[in-house]
Amino acid sequence: MNIQNKKALITGGGSGIGFSIAKTFTEGGAHVILVGRNEEKLKSAVGSLKNAEYIVADVSSDADVKLLVETVKFDHGGIDILINNAGVSFYVPAVFSEEFKEKTKQEMDINFHAVVNLINQFLPDLRDRGDAAIVNVASVLAYVPSIYAVTYSASKAALHSYSQSLRLHLEREDADVKVFEVFPPLVDTEMTAGLDTPKIAPEVIAKDLIKALLGDNFSVRSGVTEDMYRALLASPENALAIMNSN
């Protein structure tokens, strides 16, 4: 699909991957609406972009999502592309104490339940728009989990499974809404700031996403994600060992 003159809503758009996607989209002729909880970040992001607006909202809040959907529909004329990028990770181990209980709930709520809710709230309007798209930002860990981030891995695996089902469902009902998935490896963002390991720039993810949209390539596997995916196809056991070799 062509993004020129399309309107895209990007959750977690104030920084990191979300901001890089917003920048790349606006440079390609799209209009973007950035969504996030931190208004200062959103203001700063919008101030450095053209054809950009922002809405403050917590995507894990039902009340915020209801107001967000209404605001987008009635004040912004709807959207053509929904990009679910907002996410959290607390690097919870496989065996964890009571202190991690709330963190695991937040990961599942924001990384999975909130995305499903947002999609279902926006889907009727996306169907009506025609030539629309949903982009779900998952992770390489959706393919192969890390023992250091088990519930994050599980939340992204759940999102991957849901995305596949949603794509098939929409194809079978001939809805003109495409479902794309992005599987980043470690990206140089605030979320990974404390990790001393190779990372790729968020701009790489954004550029790869644009190419995928233009070519209707529904799976975006940047950097080492492609290598890990091929390793998974060859041997799930070996892929798991590689992912958790350190």
All structural domains of the chain: 7-243 (3.40.50.720)
Q: What residues form DSSP beta bridges with 81? A: 8, 133
pLDDT of residue 130: 87
In single-letter form, the type of residue at position 59 comes to V
| Region of residue 35 (left: phi > 0; alpha: psi -120 to 50; beta: else) | beta
pLDDT of residue 21: 96
pLDDT of residue 164: 98
Tens-digit pLDDT profile for the chain (246 aa)? 899 999 999 999 999 999 999 999 999 999 999 999 999 999 999 999 999 999 999 999 999 999 999 999 999 999 999 999 999 988 888 787 787 888 889 999 999 999 999 999 999 999 999 899 999 999 999 999 999 899 999 999 999 999 999 999 999 999 999 999 999 998 876 665 566 677 789 999 999 999 999 999 999 999 999 999 999 999 999 999 999 997
Strand, helix or coil for residue 103: helix
Question: CA-to-CA distance for 69 and 195, rounded, in angstroms?
Answer: 36
Q: Which of 115, 212, 123 is nearest to 175 (CA)?
A: 123
Q: How many residues belong to the chain?
A: 246
pLDDT of residue 193: 59
pLDDT of residue 194: 66
Strand, helix or coil for residue 13: coil
Q: Are 59 and 65 in contact (CB under 8 A)?
A: yes
Q: Are 148 and 193 in contact (CB under 8 A)?
A: no
How far is the CA of 137 from the CAs of 74, 82, 99, 220, in angstroms? 27, 11, 27, 9
Question: CA-to-CA distance for 47 and 37, rounded, in angstroms?
Answer: 17
Known catalytic membership, residue 152:
yes
Q: Are 12 and 85 in contact (CB under 8 A)?
A: yes
The secondary structure of 155-213 as a DSSP string is: HHHHHHHHHHHHHHHHHHTT-SEEEEEE---SBSSGGGTT--S--B-HHHHHHHHHHHH
For the chain, how big is the Rg over CA atoms in Å? 17
Question: CA-to-CA distance for 57 and 168, rounded, in angstroms?
Answer: 30
Active-site residue identified among 148, 152, 162, 229: 152
